[in-house]
Amino acid sequence: MPMDAAAVSDLFRGTLAELLGIRFVEATPDRVVAELDYRDELTTVGGSLHGGTLMAFADTIGAVATVLNLPEGASTTTLESKTNFFAAGRSGTVRAETTPLHRGKRTMAWQTRVTNDAGRLLSLTIQTQMVLT
């Protein structure tokens, strides 16, 4: 399903992605890139980006990547998601980039790296999306 970054952003109006402030930068069948600005509402009491924020960010990006690879009339849902956290996000803009690990007829798996302004890896998510026909 061809769709540019602006069209993806329009698709998510009124959803959690918009509430989080996710901005899509690139959206192709081989790679989706998005950004999210640090703000207090997305943090823990200690001031670092909440793990749930990073997981929701990664899940959204992986779902978009799947949508860009779906056959006509199909949809998707997340089957499984695993996130490792490596560093705290404490300011600036975080960037997520997802690339495919597997694109099959029934499932797709994506790897999403979330980094800070300096390129430091904050989290790595691997998720499996089911293709619903």
Per-residue pLDDT of 51-74, as tens digits, reads 999 999 999 999 999 999 999 999
Q: Output the average pLDDT for the chain.
A: 95
- Mean pLDDT value of segment 30-58: 96
Q: Is 41 exposed, middle or buried (0-12, 13-18, 19+ CB in 10 A)?
A: exposed
Q: Is 78 exposed, middle or buried (0-12, 13-18, 19+ CB in 10 A)?
A: middle
What is the C-alpha to C-alpha distance for residues 93 and 71, in angstroms, rounded to an integer? Answer: 33
What is the C-alpha to C-alpha distance for residues 56 and 36, in angstroms, rounded to an integer? Answer: 11
**Structure confidence at residue 8 (pLDDT):** 84
**Structure confidence at residue 45 (pLDDT):** 94
- Mean pLDDT value of segment 81-94: 97
* Residue % of the chain over a pLDDT of 70: 98
State the pLDDT confidence band at 1, using cuts at 50, 70 and 90.
low
Query: What pTM, to 2 d.p., does this model score?
Result: 0.93
Q: Name residues whose C-beta falls within 8 Å of residue 54's C-beta, 6 or more positions apart in sequence.
A: 83, 85, 89, 94, 114, 122, 123, 125
**Model confidence at 36: pLDDT above 90:** yes
Question: 5-132 architecture in CATH?
Answer: Roll (3.10)
